[in-house]
């Protein structure tokens, strides 16, 4: 298993649009076990994305999917920066 936990910062008043853009593009990604988009409870500009993949190759392949490519183009102008990003190796969960 391969996991990523990433924080994105949105432009003021653009966080909801960023969330919608991410959510629309991540419905059908082969090898994706879980893709959770969460609002940061302490920052009104931040979004956390927690991903679990079958393997790192599945994640890499997802970045080439047309819907994901489109979301990256549409989402990039909404983002002011990246926060923390960690790679994990999920071992258990529900």
Domain of residue 65, CATH code: 3.30.70.100
Instruction: Examine residue 15 and state whether it is found in any structural domain, yes or no.
Output: yes
- What is the structure's pLDDT at 94? 83
Range of the domain at 12: 2-88
- What is the structure's pLDDT at 27? 86
- What is the structure's pLDDT at 60? 97
pTM summary value: 0.91
pLDDT in tens, the chain (94 residues): 999 999 999 999 999 999 999 999 988 899 999 999 999 999 999 999 999 999 999 999 999 999 999 999 999 999 999 999 999 999 998 8
DSSP 54: S
Instruction: Examine residue 94 and state whether it is found in any structural domain, yes or no.
Output: no
* Distance (Å, whole) CA 43 – CA 1: 30
Instruction: Examine residue 93 and state whether it is found in any structural domain, yes or no.
Output: no
91: left (phi over 0), alpha (psi -120 to 50) or beta: alpha
- What is the structure's pLDDT at 34? 96
Nearest CA to 46 among 72, 21, 14, 20?
14
Q: How many domains does the chain have?
A: 1
């Amino acid at each position: 298993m391969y996991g990523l936990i990433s924080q994105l910062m949105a432009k003021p008043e653009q966080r909801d649009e960023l969330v919608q853009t991410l959510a629309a593009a991540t419905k059908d990604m082969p090898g994706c076990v879980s893709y959770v988009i969460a609002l940061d409870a302490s920052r009104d500009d931040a979004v956390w994305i927690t991903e679990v993949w079958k393997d790192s190759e599945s994640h890499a392949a997802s970045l080439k999917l047309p819907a994901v490519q489109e979301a990256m183009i549409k989402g990039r102008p909404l983002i002011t920066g990246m926060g923390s990003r960690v790679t994990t190796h999920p071992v258990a969960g529900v």
